Amino acid sequence: MSAISITPRKTVARIRKLSSMMRLVLLVIVNGCGGMPPEQATPAEAPNYLGKADGTSDSADYSCMVVLRSVGRVPNNMGGYMDTCQAGISSSDCRYFWEGFIDVSEEQIERFESFGVLFRTGTTQGQWYSTPAERVADVEPGFARFRFRISEFTPSPGMSYSSLNRTSIDFVPYGVWTDGGRLFDHNRLIDPLGSYELRLENGWSISQDAACPPQLQQPEYRLTYPDFNETLLGGPVEAGGKLKIVYDGRRLRATQGCMGGHNAVSATTLMVAWMFDGDSTIRTAEVEFYRESYGYACQGQSPCIEDRVSTPIIDVPERANLVSMWFYCVPMGSGDPAGYDSDEGRNYSLPIRAKDLPWVGNFTKNISRSASDPCEGGVELGQGFSFDTWARQRATVANVCFEIYQAGVTDWDNPDMWRQLDVKVFYSYNHAAFLDRYVNMVYRAGNNARYAIELRTLDPFAPYTCPGGPVSTVYQGSEPYVQLEMEFLVTVNGEEIRPNGPGTTFKGLFTDYANNPWRDENCN
């Protein structure tokens, strides 16, 4: 299994510095409730879900059934990170540990028997281990949350920096079907042989991104800490609609001089300011009020903290094209801001989709041996698809489908729809120049028009075809395979439809047997 490193985007001026305790590498292990002895990790079979024509009991999930949300070390509230001894976790010695979260689709959860994480590290000599995950309180609408803890096979404080920095971990969450077999989370890993990796380069952590968004009433713009990520969920932002702001106040409180006080009380108020299309009208709203009190100012235990968080909802004007925002803190006793979070002075900006543009959505993939309909029976596309040897040899249908709605255009048997909706797919292999082709409508579905991208027409490993670019070689056991990644997006009347906003693309991974005499003879 190849490892893929996910590095969080850095957008805010960092005052953070890696402490000596950050020079560690993650090993994934799952534990029960805090203070309880850890579940014993057990040896497990390596993932085997490449999708050979003869089938396999393992499969890769690209449909948001099982998805990693985040993983990172647990802070000790003293500028460092907890170890197993400090947390009361049973272990042979004091070792660093981490905590991560998996979300499982509530609609699919009854199909599973259990959930866990498969992992390997340099100290396991290539052996994969399995460890379970436990149910905790749900966070995101439409998903059940599970927690795993990292407390075995992890580096200890006594290891040298060079040894710590060389340590790495490959891991992947999974669910066990009630009828056997495993479903591995690949909602952020398009390669069916890929796995998550944590190392020095990504700060030994993975943050939540826009993959597998929750079921939201309106788009949410989330600005998180300590990863300093900015993510739009449930987008795009639409003219005449609403936008919810979710801001972690520690982005300002932990990095700038926001607190002000008198005697035994100190406090700060954090605000968001925004404007549309660069106009002079600036609107503001509170996102957090934070107060620390000591001694006689507390009614009980000292210190005592009041943290009142607000999530303002912005009304978006009908004709707006861009919303820009920034955040600032006002210390207690002061009328002036003491610190800003503004993307280093550029402000955080989100494009606004015009209200009268066609709606495009319901992206699915239908790769099936038994399907007779080009789209019905498909599953959510998520981040992309995998087209492998099984699909090439056995599938009778292999499409990516989506739907378009525009009032007066798609909601009747319109003979001129093909003139009024210009629909294309733009695609690129291995980051080469994008090519494009028209996408055909297959039929109407209610008031929507349904379109299908035929994957066989895009297959770089189709019979008697040269891939047209460099391929990568991977191994399933001792058998070599070749792979080629494709990224793609859809345009409707020139408007780009992307999975998670500007700059993002859908992904596809094509896989074939490396041994192909015709390619060996005819392709360079």
Selection from 116, 124, 130, 105 nearest residue 167 by Cα: 124
Reported confidence tier of residue 287, pLDDT bands at 50, 70, 90? very high
Contacting residues for 127 by C-beta, under 8 A, at least 6 apart:
43, 120
Residue 214: left (phi > 0), alpha (psi -120 to 50), or beta? beta
CA distance 19 to 132: 30
Residue 376 has φ and ψ, to the nearest 5°, of: -60, 140
Using H for helix, E for strand and C for coil, what is the string for 448-513? EEEEEEEHHHHCCCCCCCCCCCCCEEEEECCEEEEEEEEEEEEEECCEEECCCCCCCCEEEEEEEE
Q: What is the mean pLDDT of the chain?
A: 84
Rounded to whole angstroms, the Cα distance separating 105 from 521 reads 47
Residue 16 has pLDDT above 50, yes or no: no
Q: From CA 356, how far away is CA 33, in angstroms rounded? A: 51
pLDDT for position 427? 96
3-class state of residue 249 by DSSP: coil
Q: Average pLDDT in the 133-161 region?
A: 85
315-341 pLDDT, tens digit each: 999 989 999 999 999 999 998 999 999
Q: Which of 40-49, 87-96, 156-165, 217-226 has maximum average pLDDT?
A: 217-226
Residue 49 pLDDT = 55
User: Tell me, what's the pLDDT at 48?
Assistant: 66
Residue tagged 């106040």 (tokens): 249
pLDDT given at position 72: 85
Average pLDDT of 139-161?
Answer: 83
The whole model's pTM is what? 0.61
pLDDT score at 28: 38
Residues β-bridged to residue 10: none
pLDDT of residue 56: 58
- Confidence band of 23 (pLDDT split at 50, 70, 90): very low
How far apart are the C-alpha atoms of 268 and 110, rounded to whole Å?
46
Can you name the residues that pair with 309 across neighbouring β-strands?
Answer: 288
- What are 335's two structure tokens? 């009328």
- The answer to whether residues 385 and 340 touch, using CB atoms and an 8 Å cutoff, is no
Task: Please state the domain extents for the chain.
Answer: 2-202, 220-353, 359-522
Determine what percent of the chain is predicted with pLDDT higher than 90.
51
**178-197: string of b/e by CB count within 10 Å (b at 16+)?**
eeeebbbbbbbbbbbbbbbb
Contact 348, 223 (CB under 8 A): yes
Instruction: Select the more confidently predicted residue: 123 or 365.
Output: 365
259: exposed, middle or buried (Cβ count in 10 Å: 0-12, 13-18, 19+)? middle
Question: How would DSSP label each residue in 83-130?
Answer: BHHHHT---SS--B-EEEEEEEETTTGGGEEEEEEEEEEGGGTT--EE
pLDDT at residue 207, as a whole number = 86
Q: Does 2 have pLDDT greater than 50?
A: no
| DSSP code of residue 412 | S
Residue 440 is given by DSSP the state: E
Specify the pLDDT at position 77.
64
DSSP at 206 = B
pLDDT tens-digit readout, 25-78: 333 333 333 344 445 677 777 776 544 434 457 888 888 899 999 998 777 767
Percent of the chain beyond pLDDT 70? Answer: 90
pLDDT in tens, 401-456: 999 999 899 999 999 999 999 999 999 998 899 999 999 999 999 999 999 999 99
Question: What pLDDT shows up at residue 383?
Answer: 73
Q: Which residue has the tokens 């591995």?
A: 184
| Separation CA 218–CA 373 (nearest Å) | 33
Let me know: does 459 contact 400? Beta carbons within 8 Å.
no
Q: What is the pLDDT confidence band of residue 123, given thresholds at 50, 70 and 90?
A: confident
CA separation for the pair 496, 355 (Å, rounded) = 15
For residues 491-495, give the mean pLDDT.
92
Residue 30's pLDDT is: 34
pLDDT at position 385 is 92
User: Poorest-confidence range of 39-48, 156-165, 189-198, 225-234?
Assistant: 39-48
174: pLDDT strictly greater than 50: yes
Higher-pLDDT residue of 365, 7: 365
Which two tokens mark 304?
């005592």
pLDDT at 511 over 60: yes
Respond yes or no on whether the N-terminal peptide bond of residue 213 is cis (omega within 30° of 0): no
Answer whether 425's CB lies under 8 Å from 453's CB.
Answer: yes
Our CA dihedral for 314, 316, 320, 326, rounded to 10 degrees, sits at: 10
What local confidence, expressed as pLDDT, does residue 449 receive?
96
Q: Please give the structure tokens belonging to residue 35.
A: 């203070």
Give the residue among 196, 192, 249, 198 at the shortest CA–CA distance from 390: 192
Binning the chain into helix, strand and coil, the percentages to the nearest 5 are 10, 40, 50
60 versus 16: the higher-pLDDT residue is 60
Tell me the residue type at 513. Y
The answer to whether the CB of 506 falls within 8 A of the CB of 487 is yes
Judge whether residue 270 has pLDDT over 50: yes
- pLDDT for the residue numbered 268: 96
| For the chain, counts of helices (H) and of strands (E) | 6, 36
CA-to-CA distance for 334 and 314, rounded, in angstroms? 27
The C-alpha atoms of residue 426 and residue 488 are separated, in whole angstroms, by 5
Angstrom distance (rounded) from CA 402 to CA 361 = 6
pLDDT tens digits, one per residue of 349-367: 999 988 778 989 999 999 9
For the domain 2-202, what is the CATH superfamily, name and number? Carbohydrate binding type-21 domain (2.60.40.2440)
pLDDT value, residue 510: 95
Task: Return the CA Rg of the chain.
Answer: 25
